[in-house]
């Protein structure tokens, strides 16, 4: 499958994957975004682990296929089957859980190794309703995000803050990338491009912070 993004001027199809440690609230974020529900109402339609959302951004139709990997975190080594062909990734951590932020760094590293800069990244510090128990300093998180070319968002699925903005921003950036691509090489078809780009391996951008506080 082509990585999404049919180049036709008006409609875009993007695949977005949600990654992150268990219990950081990935599912709540998606459910909030897609169904605007957070554990309050009866959700009857749920079954598929992937959800879709249609957007209209400045007259451009965007279809997001959102793949939640919640529950599968412990299949560490199966990462490639989740993020393959993704146009965007949302890396979620829990602001009260330092380890979950460390996991985000690992994911960024792996995604950059594999997909280079071909993927738009968002980092979501979730559960800001629990601000009092925050263990990941805002400054650290934001400077880290900037250093790896990702956008950082403060979210809470519970209070429905930051989520809409995050998906909107991600969509816009994916559209930009797409348009740049089509500008650069009008002749190369999208699917070809994906195949070649994934082999490009730039030195993964590694801010010193990422390496040293290590894995302990």
- Contacts of the segment 31-36: beta carbons below 8 A, 24+ positions apart: 31/157, 32/157, 32/160, 32/163, 33/66, 33/163, 33/164, 33/167, 34/66, 36/160
Q: Which stretch binds another protein (CB under 8 A): 25-33, 53-61, 143-151, 184-192?
A: 25-33
Least separation in angstroms between residue 89's CB and another protein is 14
148 makes contact with another protein (CB under 8 A): no
Residue 90 CB neighbours (<10 A): 30
Single out the residue of 8, 47, 186, 187 in contact with another protein (rule: CB under 8 A). 47
Residue partners of 33: CB distance under 8 A and separation at least 6 = 53, 66, 163, 164, 167
99 makes contact with another protein (CB under 8 A): no
Nearer to another protein, 26 or 151 (CB): 26
Nearer to another protein, 77 or 139 (CB): 77
Q: Which stretch binds another protein (CB under 8 A): 30-38, 117-125, 145-153, 177-185?
A: 30-38
């Amino acid at each position: 499958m082509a990585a999404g993004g049919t180049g036709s001027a008006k409609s875009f199809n993007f695949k977005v994957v949600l990654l992150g440690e268990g219990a950081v609230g990935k599912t709540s974020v998606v459910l909030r975004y897609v169904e605007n529900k957070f554990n309050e109402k009866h959700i009857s339609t749920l079954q598929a682990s992937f959800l879709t959302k249609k957007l209209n951004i400045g007259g451009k139709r965007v279809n997001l296929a959102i793949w939640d990997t919640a529950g599968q975190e412990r299949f560490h080594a199966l990462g490639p089957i989740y993020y393959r062909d993704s146009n965007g990734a949302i890396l979620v951590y829990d602001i009260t859980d330092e380890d979950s932020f460390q996991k985000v760094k690992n994911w960024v590293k792996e995604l950059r190794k594999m997909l280079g800069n071909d993927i738009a990244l968002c980092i979501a510090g979730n559960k800001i309703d629990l601000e009092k128990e925050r263990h990941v300093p805002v400054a650290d998180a934001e400077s880290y995000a900037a250093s790896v070319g990702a956008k950082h968002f403060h979210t809470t699925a519970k209070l429905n803050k930051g989520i809409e903005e995050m998906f909107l921003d991600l969509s816009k950036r994916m559209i930009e990338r797409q348009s740049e691509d089509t500008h650069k090489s009008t002749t190369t078809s999208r699917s070809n491009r994906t195949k070649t780009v994934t082999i490009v391996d730039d030195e993964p951008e590694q801010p010193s912070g990422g390496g040293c506080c290590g894995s302990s």
